[in-house]
Structure 1
């Protein structure tokens, strides 16, 4: 089965998670990062989901699943401990709705790979069902390389790129500047501050020469 990796924007989109246990809680945790409108359908929920509900991160509908529960959903996640229920949930999804079946990858349009996130840096690892254990191992190895220092570093690269976009440097010059910043020396916060100050001066001079400021 051919699959491609995608980054999906779910901000304010309706996501329905059917189930209230451990797997459902993992999916809730993932979806909370997306700013989606999350609804959990389940007669009961575990403590992790309850905390998210009490904090206002999701809507909990304390009931058994019905097909009408997901007619407006963009993404449906079937995460109960009953394969037949999960199958029914997926087959009840409206046309065009993405589905994930926690108990049957074949019925799923979307999958949740092992995921390493450090601020803006996002790395997903999948073995296409061959070995989730290997994917977890690779994630652990990557965490040792791309540690929390990369939260600030990637944010620095983002700010640098925005400053260069504001300048009148041509695309090739901007690219050259950005390539120079992709270096371990800029993991140092002092180096980042120096570079940002320099880029602000470049952007300011270039804009001033064009009469922008």
Structure 2
């Protein structure tokens, strides 16, 4: 059983060997995470060619060589040639995170099916047993956690900063965080107005407690 983590890839080099549809899917995810992507492939999908032309990724138009992995934090072998994928696996250095498509036994990590709603990330993994099942569960969760969760969580981050700055009482903070996390608060849509009311109420409670001491 794997240990689930969220990797911070911003500014880190990710090398993807392959230029087909699978590589394109992997590269889209890496770009969303802010990785510096280097693609190694003699040919590539039009989508990937466009990304390279725009300077979004670096495309080394060549067959794979072990030197292509120098400086990589993360390596993905995503070709349809088992020999090339194995060569990538053999060339990966200790400490480089390796993923070989369709070869879970060769992987340091698996790429889950992912839902992103702003700061919210939901990942579903079957540890390579059935990516199709993971995708089905992801579709079900997409219906449950709609696009509104993005702006809602962005608001909560701002509200959290205010609570930590303006409410000293740990119990008061806890009450506010629980109130902001309630479905009824999210569904109201009047987040700013209701938060201001809750914050003022909590400050009054804290002030009253201080006068009684």
**Structure 1 length-normalised TM:** 0.89
Cα offsets for 1:36-56 (capped at 9, x unmatched): 111000111101111222232
The answer to whether residue 57 in structure 2 is matched with residue 63 in structure 1 is: no
Gaps of 5+ in 1: 207-213
Equivalent-residue separation in structure 2 for 1:168 and 1:200 (angstroms) = 8
| Residue of structure 2 in register with 1:10 after alignment | 9
2:117 corresponds to 1:130 = no
Match of residue 18 from structure 2: 19
> How many residues are treated as equivalent by the alignment?
205
What is the deviation of 1:190?
Answer: 4.2
> For 1:82 and 1:89, how far apart are their aligned partners in 2?
11
CA contact (8 A) 2:179 2:185 kept: no
Structure 1: distance between partners of 2:15 and 2:202? 45
Q: Secondary structure at the match of 2:190?
A: helix
DSSP 3-state at the match of 1:3: coil
Q: Any stretches of 5+ residues in structure 2 without a counterpart?
A: 207-213
Partner Cα distance (1:173, 1:49) in 2: 51
TM-score, normalised relative to structure 2: 0.89
CA shift in 2, pair 1:179/1:204, >3 Å: closer
How far residue 14 of structure 1 moved from its aligned partner, in angstroms, is 0.8
Deviations 1:22-76 (A, max 9, x none): 0100011000011111100011110111122223211111111110110210000
For residue 45 of structure 1, what is the aligned residue in structure 2?
44
Q: RMSD of aligned C-alpha atoms?
A: 2.0
Paired with 2:179 and 2:34, the residues of 1 have a C-alpha distance of: 34
- Which range moves more in the overlay, 116-125 or 165-174? 165-174
In the aligned structure 2, how far is the partner of 1:87 from the partner of 1:3? Answer: 22
1:144 equivalenced with 2:121 (yes/no): no
Tell me the SS of whatever aligns to 1:60: strand
